Every structure is written in C-alpha cells, then in structure tokens.
Amino acid sequence: MMEKETCVEQLISYLLDVLPEYRAEAEAVPMDAPARRYLLRCLMNVWNPRRKLPEAYFALEQQLLSVETREKEPVDVLALPEKEPGIALFQGDITRLSADAIVNAANSQMLGCFVPGHGCIDNAIHSAAGLRLRAACYELMKAQGHEEATGQAKITPGFALPARYVMHTVGPIVRDRVTEKHRQQLRSCYRSCLELARKHQLRSIAFCCISTGVFHFPRREAAEIAVNEVQEYQKKHGDAPRVIFNVFQDEDRDIYEDILG
C-alpha cells in the first residue's frame, strides 16, 4: 500500500471532487497527519450517497481502513470470558470487535451520522467501516421507501470492520420520562437483532447500549431490559447466538457487572 498520508490526501481529493462546497474549509486545515486524517473522517461523515464516488475511492479507502483496523488490534469475542453461559461483557470501542455481528444504534434515516466527527456510536461504526456502509444502507432504505420504524433492525456487511455484519436498529427516543411504549420498543430492538442473527446462523453478536446516549434512555433500566430480553431469548432458542454486551463508559460497565453478577 502507498504511504498512509498519501492515501489520506488522495481520499480527501476524491471526496472534495464530489463535495466542492467544502473545498475552502478543507484547504484551511493544517497539513499535519492527525488533522488531515480527521478532515477525511469529517468529509466521509457529510458525504451524500447520491454524489457518485469513483470505484477507485472505495478500493483505496478499503486499503487504508483495513490497515487501521489491524492497528486497533481486533478482539476475538469468542475468546472473551463468559459472565454466564452464552453472555460476555466487553468494555471499549465496538469497532474493535471481531464478531459475526455488531449492533449499531442508528436513527430512523439509517444512513449513519452526518455530524462531522460526532462522538456517537453510529459515527464511530460508519467511519471505521467506510462509505460502502452508507452506500449499502442507502440502497436498503431506497428499496424500503420509508424511514425505519423504532424497534426494527436491518443487516449489512461490516466492510472494513473486523465484524462480518452490522445490524442497524433504531432505539426509542426518551424525552422526559420512560413510558411502557419505550420499554417495549427497546425490547423489540434486542429481539429483532437476535432474530436476524438466528436467521443468518450467526454465532456471536455484540450489542451496544442502545438508546442510552443521544436518545436518553436511563442506563440502568436500559441494561435491565437488554439482559432480560437476551436471557429470555437464549432460554427459548437453543441455537441463539453468543451475546456480548459492549459497554463504553465505566458507569455502564458497573451496571452490567452488577446485573450479570
């Protein structure tokens, strides 16, 4: 592969060809490697899938992202110790997980996060998987013809991620207090993903803490619902996949440690 920095510059240049409105801003970004890499991420985040990129962009992006994926040291989820039969816990970045599927906390547009450099999981997953993920989501959503309902899930390849698939699910948005409907919708997110996993005969699935960030579902209650739904499902289906609860923050780790004993 060409030098990483050259690769980043080439990818920025491809993106600016289809996003000329960002050219002036991009030119003002200093030439140091971390700033240029961040610029690339931001341009990827704002890319509209109707602006056609050349195949060469996707090929080069795949090269860069797969090197970065290796550098982040993928974690084999089947090697994680189990908290109870069929359930493991992992604290850290979900884009490191080498699982059959990781679960993304999406929104109803289901095209990933368009806010440049945003810290949500949707942004992290799309940025690490590459723009073929947004293109794949765009095709699915175009075929569907309407926004994704809360509690449903869709599956795409993982592209440059170490995970084979990504499941995209839309959790409930909590405004002031949690209602029974919110609880049912959150249960449904977990169940829909587990159903998809079984349908695709997957052996492992890593869930993030759906809805507990931007969507404001209280963490403790969300974790109780998540664990309960997974346990019930695994009890009912002998061929249910191994589940990894992926926590990011210490507070969530403590909650899951407590619930899983």
Footprint of ligand AR6 (CB under 6 A): 93-95, 105-107, 113, 120-122, 124, 171, 208-215, 246, 248-249, 252
Q: How far is the CB of 106 from ligand AR6 (least distance, A)?
A: 6
Cα–Cα distance measured from residue 100 to residue 176, given in angstroms and rounded to the nearest whole number? 36
Please report how close the Cβ of residue 224 comes to ligand AR6 at its closest, in angstroms: 15
DSSP track, 36-69: HHHHHHHHHHH--TTSPPPHHHHHHHHHHHHHHH
Decide if 208 contacts 248 (C-beta within 8 A): yes
Closest distance of CB 228 from ligand AR6, Å: 18
Q: Which is nearer to ligand AR6, 29 or 214 (CB)?
A: 214
Per the structure block, which two tokens stand in for 85?
């039969």
Nearer to ligand AR6, 100 or 122 (CB): 122
**Which residue lies nearer to ligand AR6 by CB, 64 or 163?**
163
Which amino acid, 29?
A: V
Least distance (Å) between residue 247 CB and ligand AR6: 7
- For β-strands 87-91 and 82-84, DSSP reports them as antiparallel
Q: Which residue is nearest to ligand AR6 (CB)?
A: 213
* Choice between 21 and 250, CB closer to ligand AR6: 250
CB of 233 to ligand AR6, least distance (A): 20
| CB under 8 A, 24+ apart: contacts of 56-59 | 56/14, 57/11, 57/14, 57/15, 57/131, 58/130, 58/131, 58/132
Nearer to ligand AR6, 94 or 137 (CB): 94
